[in-house]
Structure 1
Amino acid sequence: MKRCSWSVLLAMQLLCAALPAHASDPGEIPPAPSAPQQSLVVLVDTGSHMPLADIRDGVLAAGLHRDLGAAIAERLGRIPQFKVWPRKRIGHALEQGEGDILCLYMPEWLPGPLHWSMPFFPFTEVVITRRSARRPLALADLADQQVGTVLGYVYPELEHALGKHFVRADTASGLNSLRKLELGRVQHAETTNLFVDYFLKQGGKLDIHPPLVVKTYRTLCAVSPRGSVAVDDVNRAIGQLLHDGGLARITASYR
């Protein structure tokens, strides 16, 4: 009898050890599944070209807008979602909550009841001139000469300085304008340092005078008043980008 009792006890112990841990408490409530990660909807206008945006079949494939939007979303703990809108409708779309943010803009470019982040992304607008032409020392020196420009863009400094003597040579994009300069089809082009650096990185050849600086400014992110993110949160994410070197790394990849 003693041998039989010890055998039964040993069998019960082995059975208990083989059972899953949660089976010992059938009344235990399993943990709730985690909530899906929230999206950050980033708007990009269809008029953007590399290095700002590479848009293929209505989808943002690459570019500064994509890298910057993804970096901000990461620091907000969100998943980036990109939506492409025509330039003339993108401001209204943001106002109506079709997106959360639109970056690399200035408030004067996008009037309306939008919230704005801190200024953070620098741009320097310049006029560059082929060495075969006379170097302009002021905008007034460009009077009655063709200047490479982008269709649909406005150039208030050139318009103010030159008036009716401002002669535009429009192309579809900033890179096309630089290609015209490279080929000698125009002697001058209004652009930004970012576009010049990217053009040269892609193998372009420019034999130019030192650039004539038009103006320097820092762009912002417009934040929708009907979106899912507050401007204070966007500012915190931008502050982290500036502090941890993320913005510098993004910019360096295009220079």
Structure 2
Amino acid sequence: MRRLLAILLLWSSSGLAEQPVLRFSVAESWSMPLMRTEGDVPVDGILFDLIQALAREAGVRPQYHVMARLRLEQAMTAGDIDVRCYVASNWLNERPGEFIWSVPLIHQRDLLVGRAGDGLPGGLAQLPAQPIGTVLGYTYPTLDPMFAQRLLTREDSRNQDLALQKLQASRYRYAVSNQLSLQWFNRQQPREQRLRPLALLEEQDLGCMVRNDPAIPAQQVLRALVRLKQSGEIDRIIERYTQVQGTLSADQ
């Protein structure tokens, strides 16, 4: 019996060793529900579950590289990472030619958010000069011209959750948040303290970029992402983190 167990363990270890290792980038600015890290090791979240599902489907072993968001493009250009997920083409200053886009995986909505009871009289164009809660390294196409003209000023936090915490603590009146993060934040708040979306700023489809290198199974990974999307697995992953106890509208 012991001999059989030893053989099975050896076979299992050999199988894992033969799986190609893929280096996935992780942005330090990610917070739940996108990803939670402990000591630079991802342990939970939508993107963690997505990458784990991708690794199983494609037969690869993920290796996580945590870095500042502003370093991601440099790491791609230098060949330091193999896969970058949760990215849109307009987020890139230059598209590295050696990377291939996946199918769209996640639809993101960026919102201007306020506290319960606050509104947006007159719309964005009528906002008086004031700080807006933002995330370090993120671009906001709708608001960036107003930031450039100093009609509004950025109040950067290192991740989205901190930006929303500051909004709730009245450090500023408005903040920008993606809808997933807003839903996650609100599920932990009493109904009367939930933050509310006031305006849709942008919406776009996000995907992954895979390094086009014969040393890694790029097409295998891209096909695996297609299967995960078509099977509904990615949508099920998102639902696990966005369902809210009680009644809460999709916009909240």
TM-score range, shorter chain: 0.7 to 0.9
Give the corresponding residue for 2:212.
Answer: 225
> How much has 1:209 moved relative to structure 2?
4.7
Are residues 204 and 51 of structure 1, via their aligned partners in 2, closer, same or farther at CA, if it must alter by over 3 Å? Answer: farther
- Between 1:90-99 and 1:114-123, the stretch displaced more is 90-99
Are residues 161 and 195 of structure 1, via their aligned partners in 2, closer, same or farther at CA, if it must alter by over 3 Å? Answer: same
1: CA distance between counterparts of 2:55 and 2:30?
A: 20
Q: Is 1:170 the equivalent of 2:156? A: yes
Contact 2:29-2:160 at 8 Å conserved across structures: no
Q: Deviations over 1:173-196 (max 9, x none)?
A: 211111122223322111111011
SS class of match (1:144) = coil
- Between 1:148-157 and 1:69-78, the stretch displaced more is 148-157
Q: Is 1:213 the equivalent of 2:200? A: yes
Q: Is 1:120 the equivalent of 2:89? A: no
1: CA distance between counterparts of 2:28 and 2:145?
A: 28
Give the corresponding residue for 2:56.
Answer: 74
Contact 2:112-2:197 at 8 Å conserved across structures: no
Contact 1:126-1:211 at 8 Å conserved across structures: yes
Query: Which consecutive unaligned segments of at least 5 residues does structure 1 have?
Result: 1-32
1: CA distance between counterparts of 2:77 and 2:196?
A: 43
Letter in 1 for 2:207: L
2: CA distance between counterparts of 1:151 and 1:89?
A: 12
2: CA distance between counterparts of 1:88 and 1:159?
A: 17
1:15-164 to 2 correspondences below 5 Å = 36-110=18-92, 111=94, 112-113=96-97, 114-136=99-121, 138-161=123-146, 163-164=149-150
> How much has 1:141 moved relative to structure 2?
2.9
Q: Is 1:197 the equivalent of 2:149? A: no
Contact 1:94-1:223 at 8 Å conserved across structures: no
Contact 1:136-1:212 at 8 Å conserved across structures: no
2: CA distance between counterparts of 1:204 and 1:241?
A: 35
SS class of match (2:207) = strand
Query: Which consecutive unaligned segments of at least 5 residues does structure 2 have?
Result: 1-13, 243-252
1: CA distance between counterparts of 2:156 and 2:19?
A: 44
Q: TM-score, normalised by structure 1?
A: 0.76
> How much has 1:117 moved relative to structure 2?
1.4
1: CA distance between counterparts of 2:64 and 2:78?
A: 16
1: CA distance between counterparts of 2:102 and 2:176?
A: 27
Contact 1:124-1:213 at 8 Å conserved across structures: yes
- Between 1:212-221 and 1:154-163, the stretch displaced more is 154-163
> How much has 1:204 moved relative to structure 2?
6.5
Q: Equivalent pairs: percent with the same residue? A: 29
Give the corresponding residue for 1:241.
Answer: 228
Are residues 99 and 253 of structure 1, via their aligned partners in 2, closer, same or farther at CA, if it must alter by over 3 Å? Answer: same
Larger gyration radius, structure 1 or structure 2: 1
Q: How many matched pairs? A: 222
> How much has 1:153 moved relative to structure 2?
2.3
Letter in 2 for 1:74: R
Q: TM-score, normalised by structure 2?
A: 0.77
2: CA distance between counterparts of 1:204 and 1:60?
A: 28
SS class of match (1:236) = helix
2: CA distance between counterparts of 1:73 and 1:36?
A: 13
Letter in 2 for 1:49: S
Q: Deviations over 1:84-140 (max 9, x none)?
A: 233333333334443321100112323222222122211000001224434245321
